[in-house]
Amino acid sequence: MEKNTHYYSKTQENVKSEPNMFVFNFKDHTFKFHTDNGVFSKDYIDYGSFALLKAFKPNDIDLDILDMGAGYGPLGIVISTLYNKHTVMCEINERAYNLNLKNIEENKANATVFQSDLYEKVSDLKFASIVTNPPIRAGKDIVYKIYDEAYNHLVEGGELWVVIQKKQGAPSSKEHITNLFGNCEIVTRDKGYYILKAVK
């Protein structure tokens, strides 16, 4: 595969742009998402993100929610709309970031997105919850760094929500998060995906 063709790369200069849009109906809301080549799950919301959206419930802490590795924005935008919460989204992929800006406007979402290498652009912020569908193909070190830094970016009582397939390391992720937070529950199992939640 050519350099800069991974969805978790910063730029997508070697990937031909073929803009697309799809409609996502969920919990009596209709969302429109602009997508393109070179971004994660460009044709429709992937099942892992869908499973996380079905399971997620915000806590009562009056702070923003962070979507780490947000792609073109489905998790953060849907959560913001459903729960009337301001979401902050971080995404390294420049094309996905620009699509995310467009999707925030398209869906009139109360959300902010940063083109950010993990927590780089939110280094001084803390959140009520962090949700992530981590970039498994980027490697275990990156995935675990998302977990490790999440702990420092949550307030006391804040929650980390993760979706990960069993075959892609859900049991080892659960063990790592448990060691980090002192707890980690499997909220649900859905077609091979585990929804994990840990409370700081």
Task: Look at residue 159 in the predicted model and tell me its pLDDT.
Answer: 98
Dihedral sign from CA coordinates of 79, 194, 92, 97:
negative
pLDDT at 9 over 60: no
Report, at the CATH architecture level, how domain 20-199 is classified. Answer: 3-Layer(aba) Sandwich (3.40)
Q: Provide mean pLDDT across the span 18-30.
A: 97
pLDDT tens-digit profile of 70-110? 999 999 999 999 999 999 999 999 999 999 999 999 999 99
**Tell me: the pLDDT tens digits for 136-158?**
888 899 999 999 999 999 999 99
pLDDT at 169 over 80: yes
Reported pTM: 0.93
Asked if pLDDT for residue 12 goes beyond 80, the answer is no
